[in-house]
Structure 1
Amino acid sequence: DEKEHEEHLKAILELLKKEELCAKFSKYEFWIPKVQFLGHVIDSQGLAGYYQRFIEGFPKVAKPVTKLTQKKVEFEWGDKQEAVFQLLKQKLCSAPILALPEGSEDFIVYCDASNKGLGVVLTQREKVISYASRQLKIHEKNYTTHDLELGAVVFA
């Protein structure tokens, strides 16, 4: 949020002043909604939005951690959150490794929907190219199974 960003900026500027360092403000941008860094876009979701494509069922796995970012939810990092964090790290660093696409043929998209979320897997010749999934929005939880399945296809 902007107030938090302003507080961080103020703390950094005070630290620079204390250490007698200078900053050339023409080289900086403030209050921008997303940043492109090393070819990757970092937005309000941080890198989680980027890395979730590599972990099957990311929203379900990460729910105990992502729940902490909701409004009116007290931030309490307990054993459950630590276990999820360690599991996510392990999944990012181990097989199954995603394959790179080869050519433009033989792609298959698998879609699925449940009363919790949507999931998609892109494969080529039985090798996983990418995973994508997300939790249902509150209003989507009222959708029929047929509409959710169609939503998964659109999401894909």
Structure 2
Amino acid sequence: MKGVHRFGVKGKLAPRYVGPFKITEQCGPVAYRLELPPHLAAVHDVFHVSQLKKCLRVPEEVIDTSQIQIQPDLTYEEKPIKILDQKQRSTRRRTINFYKSN
């Protein structure tokens, strides 16, 4: 399932996909119903085929859903695991730090 906008995921370092989930039925020519875990019950379970991706078991693109704590407004807090890279960019008056994490 591609990064659902309702989760509040922002930025290029956010995980692209959440899952994998089992497809329970085809609801239309391009819509599928997924079997979502109980803690994702607030998310609608029917998705367009463009939002789905075949599970290739790539661990860095898949996030474990048991660790996601969904809040009432369907967002979650992201916590970096490790800082991979650091870069500084200087402008005329200030220095901006950039961090890449996973």
TM-score, normalised via structure 1 length: 0.17
Q: Which one has a larger percent helix, Structure 1 or Structure 2?
A: 1
TM-score, normalised via structure 2 length: 0.23
Q: Which one has a larger percent strand, Structure 1 or Structure 2?
A: 2
Q: Relative contact order: is structure 1 or structure 2 higher (C-alpha 8 Å, sep ≥ 6)?
A: 2
